Amino acid sequence: MATLINEGKAKQLFTTDDPNVIQVHYMNQATALNGKRKEHIDDKGEVNNQIDSLIFEYLNHLGIATHFIKQLSDSDQLVKKMKMVPLEVVVRNYASGSFQRKFDTEYLLKFEEPVQEFYYKSDRLDDPFINDSQIHALKIATPEQLSTMREQVFKINQALIKLFAASGITLVDFKVEFGFDADGNLILGDEISPDSCRLVDAQTHESLDKDVFRKHTGNVMDGYRTVLSRLEATAK
Ligand code: TMP
């Protein structure tokens, strides 16, 4: 019988018959302000599971190692069990969010090279920015592991820019997480969806991601459904 291993802000993790495989259930829930604001949102779990499955299948196809095994149902998928590295790895192609606030730049200022940042995953500390030297001091990852994650995340960025551009969507920025699989390989885990990316319409710059929920600017599901239908149309 499947047992609940962990419940995060938008997903539940369950055991399966295989100790190296877990079932991820996407919930109809959105949070902001590090979980302090929580709302039920109809269909969000299904739409995010479908977007994430499509993206991870695409990355697996390109030879990028990920935890994703297969989509199981509308709101569930099977993934490899991982020991996660407690880092959020952010890549930015255009200025938005915390970068725009921190450096007071214009919105969607285009960077010549993608910007990469690490944040230490800790709800208690509100996921603070962390640099390489601090990561080494806290023994979170070795220099080689940081290089691997940087190398992988820039490859993932190029692949995602291409995938979204074909659907008329600009990838502004995104966050991913890495972990070790049962064989000790450092591979991509967690999720890639409009919960963890900033996506704007390439023509109108309309927001198609969780910023709509964060900023209360409309119905968040309109953007998520647009992302899914455009990705599905392009994948055909
Ligand atoms: P930021 O501009 O707020 O630092 O966010 C950068 C990107 O990372 C953006 O696409 C949203 C994503 N992100 C998450 O997925 N989870 C988080 O906890 C944070 C802070 C950002």
State the alpha helices, DSSP H only, in the chain. 44-61, 97-103, 132-137, 143-165, 211-214, 220-235
- The pTM for the full model equals 0.97
Taking CA atoms, 24 is separated from 5, 72, 89, in Å, by 10, 9, 21
The tens-digit pLDDT sequence of the chain (236 residues) is 789 999 999 999 999 999 999 999 999 999 998 888 999 999 999 999 999 999 999 999 999 999 999 999 999 999 999 999 999 999 999 999 999 999 999 999 999 999 999 999 999 999 999 999 999 999 999 999 999 999 999 999 999 999 999 999 999 999 999 999 999 999 999 999 999 999 999 999 999 999 999 999 999 999 999 999 999 999 87
Which atom belonging to ligand 1 lies closest to the Cα atom of 98? 2
pLDDT of residue 163: 98
Q: How far apart are the first and last CA of the chain?
A: 36
Q: Which of 104, 173, 210, 212 to mutate to test the pocket of ligand 1 (most atoms within 8 A of CB)?
A: 173
Instruction: Kindly give the distance from the C-alpha atom of residue 177 to the centroid of ligand 1, in angstroms, as a whole number.
Output: 12
Question: Distance between CA 82 and CA 142 in Å, rounded?
Answer: 18
Question: Distance between CA 81 and CA 235 in Å, rounded?
Answer: 28
Residue matched to tokens 């940081």: 146
All domains in the chain, ordered by first residue: 4-80 (3.30.200.20), 83-219 (3.30.470.20)
Q: What is the DSSP letter of 202?
A: T
Q: Which of 196, 212, 215 to mutate to test the pocket of ligand 1 (most atoms within 8 A of CB)?
A: 196
174 lines ligand 1 (CB under 6 A): yes
The residues facing 129 across adjacent strands are 119
